[in-house]
């Protein structure tokens, strides 16, 4: 049976819109609801319990709206709340983690030097420790929190190249980038900075993120349950935000349009 029930997608703020877009591109028949919790962003500097409570509130709302699946378009909320959500709700909960496996696999078996950019919460949680454990015997992995990259997006400064480049250099200057193979964008806000990273780092450095893999995973999970939307449905997107600042809706539409 197909299902035209919506897929609920959420993030601490605007970053997850990049994931919603990827899902829409892959599955244009799906009805999507995106919820950005900008009133409570950033999540990355909050306690795990706080992020769990905020995530559960959003998930309850998606359940009330009849969602057939929830996508946690936020590495931070996944680290803090995915397990709890899976044990609470009986619809699929699809989370995200920094694409470290992809970065290491792209090395074709050679030891890789990888910088993982993410939030402080993601990098300190056990989920990332377990992921790192799988790869750190063979590869050199550096953890780099970049909290200001979240604030720049939420504050509407994303197009201010001077601010962005200064911030990025502040995070990257300490590394010998000639020896780095990949930079992982392990926070959905960071995926918007791909071109800025590209312009700053040597050409051989790969810049990887998990958005496409997540969209494919959502499709596979729904296909397996026979719950994809019918092909003749024209998929819709509803962009919601918890902030009452009217600028947030403008920014939501801007990031959806990218």
Would you name the residues annotated as active-site residues?
A: 74, 187
Q: How many residues bind ligand DGL (CB under 6 A)?
A: 17
6 touches ligand DGL by CB under 6 A: no
Tell me the torsion sign for CA atoms 231, 234, 238, 239: positive
C-beta nearest to ligand DGL: residue:
44
CB 117 within 8 A of CB 201: no
Among residues 107, 134, 139, 103, the alpha carbon closest in space to that of 118 is found at 103
214 touches ligand DGL by CB under 6 A: no
CB 142 within 8 A of CB 115: yes
Among residues 172, 168, 99, 175, the alpha carbon closest in space to that of 132 is found at 99
Q: Candidates 69-77, 127-135, 170-178, 243-251: pick the segment binding ligand DGL (CB under 6 A).
A: 69-77
How far apart are the C-alpha atoms of 202 and 257, rounded to whole Å? 29
How far apart are the C-alpha atoms of 75 and 241, rounded to whole Å? 18
18 touches ligand DGL by CB under 6 A: no
Beta bridge partners of 118: 145
210 touches ligand DGL by CB under 6 A: no
15 touches ligand DGL by CB under 6 A: yes
CB of 109 vs ligand DGL, minimal distance in Å? 29
74 touches ligand DGL by CB under 6 A: yes
Go through 217-256 and write b for each residue having 16 or more CB atoms within 10 A of its CB, e for each that does not: bbeebbeeeebbbeeeeebebebbbbbeeeebeebbeebb
How far apart are the C-alpha atoms of 32 and 235, rounded to whole Å? 7
Nearer to ligand DGL, 6 or 98 (CB): 98
CB of 41 vs ligand DGL, minimal distance in Å? 5
Nearer to ligand DGL, 3 or 128 (CB): 128
122 touches ligand DGL by CB under 6 A: yes
119 touches ligand DGL by CB under 6 A: yes
Nearer to ligand DGL, 129 or 223 (CB): 129
CB of 168 vs ligand DGL, minimal distance in Å? 16
**Footprint (CB under 6 A) of ligand DGL, residues 33-62:** 41-44
How far apart are the C-alpha atoms of 162 and 61, rounded to whole Å? 39
The binder of ligand DGL chosen from 7, 10, 12, 17 (CB under 6 A) = 12
Residues engaged in binding ligand DGL (CB under 6 A): 11-13, 15, 41-44, 74-76, 119, 122, 150, 187-189
């Amino acid at each position: 049976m197909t299902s035209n029930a919506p897929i609920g997608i959420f993030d601490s703020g605007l970053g997850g819109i990049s994931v919603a877009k990827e899902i829409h591109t892959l599955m244009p028949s799906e009805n999507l609801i995106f919820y950005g919790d900008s009133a409570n962003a950033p999540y990355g500097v909050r306690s795990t319990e706080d992020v769990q409570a905020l995530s559960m509130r959003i998930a309850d709302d998606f359940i009330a709206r009849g969602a057939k699946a929830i996508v946690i378009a936020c590495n931070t909320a996944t680290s803090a709340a995915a397990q709890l959500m899976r044990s609470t709700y009986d619809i699929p909960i699809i989370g995200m983690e920094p694409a470290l496996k992809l970065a290491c696999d792209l090395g074709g078996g050679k030891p890789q030097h990888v910088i993982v950019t993410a939030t402080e919460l993601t990098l300190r949680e056990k989920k990332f420790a377990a992921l790192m454990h799988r790869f750190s015997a063979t590869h050199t992995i550096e953890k780099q929190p970049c909290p200001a990259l979240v604030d720049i997006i939420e504050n509407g400064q994303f197009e201010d190249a001077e601010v962005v480049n200064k911030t990025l250099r502040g995070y990257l200057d300490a590394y010998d980038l000639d020896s780095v193979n990949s930079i992982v964008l392990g926070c959905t806000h960071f995926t918007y900075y791909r071109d800025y990273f590209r312009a700053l780092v040597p050409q051989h450095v790969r810049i990887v993120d998990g958005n496409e893999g997540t969209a494919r995973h959502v499709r596979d999970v729904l296909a397996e349950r026979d719950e994809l939307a019918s092909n003749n449905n024209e998929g819709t997107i509803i962009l919601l935000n918890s902030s009452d600042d009217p600028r947030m809706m403008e920014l939501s539409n801007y990031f959806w349009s990218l």
